């Protein structure tokens, strides 16, 4: 899959679902089933890291 088509480009999606990995999870669009850019979340990530 090419880099430009790896992430969701939907104007407005109806929802998301999580796909879990070893270190965290991605949120995926329920419309096109692609990752939502900048929506990777690590497990046990602190709320305020800055």
Residue 41 corresponds to which tokens in the numbers above? 């979340």
The reported pLDDT for the residue numbered 5 is 80
Of 41, 43, 19, residue with least CA distance to 29? 19
Global pTM reads 0.72
24-49 tens-digit pLDDT: 999 999 999 999 999 999 988 666 66
Residue 42 corresponds to which tokens in the numbers above? 């690590």
């Amino acid at each position: 899959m090419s880099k430009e088509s790896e992430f969701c480009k939907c104007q407005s999606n109806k929802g998301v679902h999580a796909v879990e990995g070893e270190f965290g999870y991605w949120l995926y669009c329920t419309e096109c089933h692609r990752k939502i850019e900048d929506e990777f979340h690590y497990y046990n990530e602190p709320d305020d890291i800055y």
